Chain A
């Protein structure tokens, strides 16, 4: 009787797991099959390395994904440059310097930041950051890659801070005591002992933060201006892969090359986020091996 119940529960849970995997495979299949149709029409290399994305061109349409990839990379890299030092420093502060009550206030606030809807963040970019950037750099408007990068940094920060902080506090106190007892100061201990011991956890935090930034859509639609020109600088309007899919998929005619090209864009995006998350996973695995002594 009891074993039957247990078996049912076991089957239930494994079914859940299998369903999740099947759904993932289904998405993968959907994207890939659509992508093949697109690549048949466009040509794989023209798609991947083409420098113009202009699906509605009057004379001829072109489906070069490179400007979209570039836009995504610029915005994400910008966000990374801003969020990583800030997030890691903040995590180090919380883990090693902050007093217990500071931690008790700051941590929930940061985790609340993770819950702010992306529309609201995008709205902030559109209204506040837009003007701020335009004024500081004397531009006609502030809807550009920089704006998106700042907002995405804001969105990646909670992930980075909270996971990196976990990794830092997981470092056994024995290491810290050993270092301090040898006459190291706090900063040396943090730099030479705690960070190296938490390196994989902190890397995972960074990767997960970046993963979040790459996939973000609403914010970048609202804040980056969405021009489909070749992106030249952070002060130019850009159009990321996510924004392109979201904007164009609503208007595209069913079963056209354009329609399938958007699938192919989705596939590339999927592949990139998959790789980023996979590396985060590998880092996390490594970190649990280090801290589990």
Chain B
């Protein structure tokens, strides 16, 4: 996959009522790369991520200004089809949230709502997605088991499989490993590195080592603004802005 610009946000402002959570955010996200968003708690990382698939629409008080263009199309245009957008831009949440259904039903959920009926096709999608999420070997013998019985790390990979099953182009991940132990975390990080060949990945993380390990580009958020964006290696070794340096050296946050 060539590295073209996939997502552009332009002068993105987002308000929760009177509170401005995002201020003039300009960011380019390239396909085939992993973009990490770092920053102290409450700086708007999740808010930004959720504005890329319009999940903030669920909150009544939210108002958005500016543009988010994905493949050149402004997703806040009236003509934008939110269902299609969310199919294209999948999301993995901080807390693994499989449905209280079987493993199979969790993965098949997305394809089903998008109109896949054929059992054979569904079987194939489920297997393919679970393989892509590196979970197949662990669950293939008992797909009808309740997803809630899986371990936390397995649940999170199941959630990733569930997203992959609708064949997204972008995968948003909001602190996907913050609730996991180091081994489960490593599995997910390996997975992210493997997936970036096929998908554009944007990941929020509190863990700077993790950002350094998995991402190509890092954006540093502070109080709803982007302070600095750059090549991950450079940003962590030679930050341009003093505030970035303070943050990555642990002087605050």
Contact = CB atoms under 8 A, between A and B. Distances in A.
B161 to A, nearest CB: 12
A132 interface: no
A177 B56 CA distance: 10
A180 B99 CA distance: 12
Contacts of B53: 181
Contacts, number: 64
Given A183-B166, A188-B113, A192-B113, A178 B86 contact: no
Given A99-B60, A183-B84, A174 B97 contact: yes
Interface stretch (B69-77, B88-96, B118-126, B242-250): B88-96
B93 A177 contact: yes
B182 interface: no
Summarize A's interface: helix, strand, loop or mixed: helix
B166 A177 contact: no
A168 to B, nearest CB: 14
Contact of B97 (A100, A172, A196, A290): A172
Interface residues of B, number: 28
Interface string B38-79: 000000000000000101001010000000000000000000
Nearest to B85: A183
A105 interface: no
A197 interface: yes
Contacts of A180: 55, 58, 86
Interface residues of A, number: 21
A182 B109 contact: yes
A25 interface: no
Nearest to A178: B97
Interface string A154-183: 000000000000000000101101111111
A175 to B, nearest CB: 6
A172 B95 CA distance: 12
A185 interface: yes
Contact of A178 (B58, B84, B99): B99
Given A177-B97, A181-B90, A181-B93, 18 more contacts: A100-B60, A174-B93, A174-B97, A175-B97, A178-B98, A178-B99, A180-B86, A181-B86, A182-B109, A182-B110, A182-B166, A183-B83, A183-B84, A183-B85, A183-B110, A183-B114, A184-B113, A290-B100
